[in-house]
C-alpha cells in the first residue's frame, strides 16, 4: 500500500448500497467535502434523513451497468456481493477509484481508520492484518488528539503566512520552524497556554529576522 490523501472537494462520488455501512461511508465522504450520490432501492433511516435534507442525492433504483460512469470515486457497500463485484469491475475498467467493502482484492484502494479534528486528519491501517488493532489505535488517538490540536493548527497557519512573507528562502523557513516549533512549545500550547505559546513564536520570528538582517533589523 502507498498512503495518499485525496482532495475530494465537490468531487462526484457514488455509494452503492443504502444500509448502515453505506451510511458510515457517506459520513466520511461528506466530511471530505465530496458531492455524494447513494444508489439503492431503499435507505436506512440516517441516510433517508440526509436525503430529505438534501445532503446527498438518492438514486432510488437497483444498480445497472453504466450507473458508475459519471463518478470520480465509487464505494460498493451493498449487501449483494454480486452487485458489488459487477459495479466494481465496471468502474475499474474505466480506471476509476473503487473500493468494495470487505473485498480489498476487488478494489484499487482501501479505507483506513480515521481520526479527524478540523483540518487534522490521521489515518491508521494495519494492511488488513488486524482491523481490531486499527480500531483500538483509533480510539486511543481520539483521546490523545483533542480539539485543541485543531485550534493550535489554525493559529500556526496564521503565523506560517507571516513567516512565508518575511523569510523568502524555503531552506531558511525550514530551519526556522525546526528550531522554533519545539516539543516544549507544543506542550505549552496544548496544555492550556496557547496564547502564551503563540507569543513565543512571534518573538522567535522577530529575533530570527533581526539575526538575519531582515525587515525588523535596526
pLDDT digits (tens, 9 = 90+) for 138-161: 999 999 999 999 999 999 999 999
Q: What is the distance of C-alpha 151 from the center of its chain?
A: 17
- Are 1-111 and 112-145 the same fold in CATH? no
Q: Is the pTM of this model over 0.85?
A: no
> What CATH architecture is 1-111?
3-Layer(aba) Sandwich (3.40)
Domain layout of the chain by residue ranges: 1-111, 112-145, 147-212
| Rounded mean pLDDT, 110-135 | 86
Please determine, for residue 216, whether its predicted confidence score (pLDDT) is greater than 50: no
- Indicate the class that CATH gives domain 112-145: alpha beta
Please determine, for residue 213, whether its predicted confidence score (pLDDT) is greater than 80: no
Q: Which of 169, 184, 172 is nearest to 208 (CA)?
A: 172
Please determine, for residue 215, whether its predicted confidence score (pLDDT) is greater than 70: no
Strand partners, 76: 16, 100
Amino acid at each position: 500500500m502507498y498512503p495518499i490523501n485525496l482532495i475530494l472537494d465537490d468531487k462526484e462520488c457514488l455509494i452503492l448500497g443504502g444500509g448502515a455501512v453505506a451510511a458510515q461511508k457517506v459520513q466520511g465522504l461528506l466530511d471530505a467535502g465530496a458531492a455524494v450520490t447513494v444508489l439503492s432501492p431503499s435507505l436506512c433511516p440516517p441516510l433517508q434523513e440526509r436525503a430529505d435534507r438534501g445532503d446527498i442525492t438518492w438514486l432510488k433504483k437497483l444498480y445497472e451497468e453504466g450507473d458508475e460512469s459519471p463518478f470520480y470515486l465509487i464505494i460498493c457497500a451493498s449487501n449483494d456481493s454480486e452487485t458489488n463485484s459487477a459495479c466494481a469491475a465496471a468502474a475499474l475498467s474505466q480506471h476509476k477509484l473503487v473500493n468494495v467493502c470487505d473485498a480489498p482484492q476487488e478494489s484499487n484502494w482501501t479505507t483506513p481508520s480515521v481520526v479527524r479534528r478540523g483540518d487534522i486528519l490521521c489515518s491508521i491501517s494495519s494492511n488488513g492484518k488486524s482491523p481490531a488493532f486499527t480500531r483500538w489505535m483509533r480510539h486511543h488517538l481520539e483521546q490523545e488528539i483533542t480539539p485543541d490540536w485543531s485550534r493550535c493548527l489554525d493559529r500556526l497557519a496564521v503565523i506560517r503566512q507571516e513567516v512565508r512573507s518575511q523569510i523568502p528562502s524555503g531552506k531558511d523557513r525550514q530551519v526556522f520552524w525546526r528550531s522554533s516549533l519545539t516539543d516544549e512549545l507544543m506542550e505549552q500550547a496544548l496544555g492550556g497556554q496557547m496564547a502564551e505559546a503563540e507569543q513565543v513564536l512571534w518573538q522567535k520570528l522577530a529575533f530570527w529576522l533581526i539575526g538575519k538582517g531582515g525587515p525588523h533589523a535596526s
